[in-house]
Structure 1
Amino acid sequence: MNRRSFIKKLLAGSLAFFGISGGTYYYARNVEPALLTVHKETIQSKKIPSSFDGFKIIQFSDTHIGFHYTLDQFQELVKKINALEPDLIVFTGDLVDKPNQYNWNPRLTNLLSSLHAPKGKFWIYGNHDHGGYGTEIVKEVMGQANFQLLKNSHHTIEQQVDRILIAGIDDVMLGQPNLSKTLENTNPDLFTILLAHEPDIADKSMEFPVDVQLSGHSHGGQVRLPFVGHLYTPLYAEKYVEGKYRFESSNLDLYVSRGIGTTRLPYRFLCKPEITLFTLKTQ
């Protein structure tokens, strides 16, 4: 959806929202976008080896740096992530809002480099990473910061004699995602985490030996109204918007992050930005 269509669709709900009071507008514009929360989840599975019991994974997503989200704010985010002492860090896409217009600063690479996780740092493309001719720019910056790209590929995480699998697909909207290639020659008995920017791809992920899918893209709707919920979410984030979804028929658990930054419109209301701390637990 282009910017004009987006704003047209959102206009009625936005007018009602902003018409509540000037104080509400100020809160949504200047306060809530900075109220970063740490959402904690425990992932339990019989497939998680005993040596991974208590293993900590941090997911952060959708920073959209450059659109009302600054490097100073990102520095505070880095401090918060490192203070949680994760074993593994994953970024699920949309680093800067407009890669071709962003004034790339070495400070961003340095901050990304300062994120510490002994078992590795992994990332996938989001639609904004591919958009605006940014594909190679973002790839270079993330690579310099020692983040490993998972683009229709997977990586084995080893701990003592045990292993789990982390995989990632290319962006659904502007890339060429291929789940079959991503999980080619993998052992279905290994506990498998899939990174996918757009959450609605879970309807296809459940057909593969994936235990957990971590996604972003939706921003949780950014603006949510009481008794109404979110006003708008982008394509491929229309079914699964935020939080945890369980698919009993496939044993897949989907977690959708509200993300950190904003896009299109610089507001958040009843939808605080978040990072997620996942703790693995053996059943």
Structure 2
Amino acid sequence: MPDLSPLTRVAAGTAGAAVLGLGYATLIERNAFTLREVTVPVLAPGAATLRVLHISDLHMMPGQKRKQNWLRELDRLEPDLVINTGDNLSHPKSVPAVVQALSGLLARPGLFVFGSNDYFAPVLKNPLAYFDKDHDRVYGPPLPWGDLRAAFNERGWQDMTHVRRDIEVGGVRISVAGVDDPHLERDRYETIAGAADKSADLRLGLTHSPEPRVLDRFADDGYDLVLAGHTHGGQLCLPFFGALVTNCGIDRSRVKGPSRWGAHMQLHVSAGMGTSPFAPARFCCRPEATLLTLVPAPRDESRRSAGSAAESAGSRR
């Protein structure tokens, strides 16, 4: 066998590592579902602790039994409230799989908003387009989001798309509002605009894509916490660097998990549980659901009165 040049050896080693990495990302990590647990001090003083299960971006295909079984087991956590921030579907026949996988959780109090892959099926895309925030979006065939919405509603979950509600869960009074998917520019914040109820124990906002223009509006109206998904946590990340892209307007440091938006509002972005069937890989970014334990904020960090946006207008991001 002839000796290989150093350059050839490096190229061969790089190609081998790439193949191994791709195999790990597609066969192992994208199915390595994990539960994150986060405590968020966001409730009014004296409020009872609230356990919120945040799920997002299931991107369900009918045959994904491992994902469906893992979702089914989440009901054992016995959350007080379930929040679903969209992108449940990836196939026109996925509605029964989603509903059956969530069957136990659907018997618990729940709120939801939809994302782009509830409305339209995913399509093959140029991966380099994710690095261009102004690229032209391509939409697949319509998905049966109306059937999914009806199934969620029939089992008691409430659609928060352009709606404001006051609910009580586990003795905690919640003022909640949501918008349609900003990624598709379907958000119409003006339909829910106005100061959130400052007498509530929690002022909660829901959106699929955490676009800054929407987060700013929630913050201006005095919301304490916004839950979102969409980013997949970057999906393909690098060790010691993190996400390459966010697929929306937020910066990479907020691509998943909790962070502060402005002076007073907390943001939690779920890295989600799925992928597009055309990009079935995750690297350094395991698929996840999150159990948020909401507790009262420290008394020396007073919650902002709703509507007093001017004091923090220059402190965001």
**Match for residue 129 of structure 2?**
none
Contact 2:55 2:289 in 1 (8 A): yes
Contact 2:25 2:281 in 1 (8 A): yes
1:40 deviation in Å? Answer: 1.0
Please list, as runs of the form range in 1=range in 2, the aligned pairs for 1:64-143 lying within 5 A after superposition: 64-66=59-61, 70-79=64-73, 81-98=74-91, 102-104=92-94, 106-115=96-105, 118=108, 120-131=109-120, 132-134=141-143, 135-143=145-153
TM-score norm. by structure 1 comes to: 0.81
**Match for residue 60 of structure 1?**
55
The percent of aligned pairs where both chains have the same amino acid is: 28
Note if 1:178 corresponds to 2:188: yes
**Match for residue 313 of structure 2?**
none
Q: What SS does the corresponding residue of 1:20 show, helix, strand or coil?
A: helix
The more displaced of 198-207 and 231-240 is 231-240
**Match for residue 4 of structure 1?**
none
Mapped to 2, the partners of 1:142 and 1:160 lie a distance apart of 21
Deviations 1:57-107 (A, max 9, x none): 00000000129x71442132121x111110100100000124xxx224635
Please list, as runs of the form range in 1=range in 2, the aligned pairs for 1:1-283 lying within 5 A after superposition: 20-45=17-42, 47=44, 49-50=46-47, 52-53=48-49, 55-66=50-61, 70-79=64-73, 81-98=74-91, 102-104=92-94, 106-115=96-105, 118=108, 120-131=109-120, 132-134=141-143, 135-159=145-169, 163-174=173-184, 176-184=186-194, 186-190=196-200, 191-200=202-211, 201-236=214-249, 240-249=254-263, 251-263=264-276, 264-282=278-296, 283=298
Q: What SS does the corresponding residue of 1:213 show, helix, strand or coil?
A: strand
RMSD: 2.7
Cα–Cα, structure 1 residues 66 and 171, in superposed 2: closer, same or farther, change >3 Å?
same
Post-superposition, which runs of at least 4 consecutive aligned residues in structure 1 deviate over 3 A?
16-19, 104-108, 159-162, 183-186, 235-240
Mapped to 1, the partners of 2:288 and 2:226 lie a distance apart of 17
Cα–Cα, structure 1 residues 204 and 223, in superposed 2: closer, same or farther, change >3 Å?
same
In structure 2, give the amino acid aligned to 1:273: P
Deviations 1:101-140 (A, max 9, x none): x22463543333322564x111101111122323423323
TM-score norm. by structure 2 comes to: 0.73
1:207 deviation in Å? Answer: 1.6
In structure 1, give the amino acid aligned to 2:188: N
Contact 1:121 1:146 in 2 (8 A): yes
Deviations 1:16-73 (A, max 9, x none): 99762433222111111111111111121352542x22x2100000000129x71442
1:242 deviation in Å? Answer: 1.3
| Alignment gaps of 5+ in structure 1 | 1-15
Deviations 1:206-253 (A, max 9, x none): 22211111111000111111244323332345553112221343x011
Contact 1:110 1:145 in 2 (8 A): no
Mapped to 1, the partners of 2:287 and 2:171 lie a distance apart of 37
Cα–Cα, structure 1 residues 207 and 66, in superposed 2: closer, same or farther, change >3 Å?
same
**Match for residue 3 of structure 1?**
none
In structure 2, give the amino acid aligned to 1:61: S
Paired residues in the alignment total 259
| Alignment gaps of 5+ in structure 2 | 1-12, 121-140, 299-317
Greater gyration radius: 2
Cα–Cα, structure 1 residues 160 and 92, in superposed 2: closer, same or farther, change >3 Å?
closer
Mapped to 1, the partners of 2:172 and 2:56 lie a distance apart of 28
The more displaced of 214-223 and 172-181 is 172-181
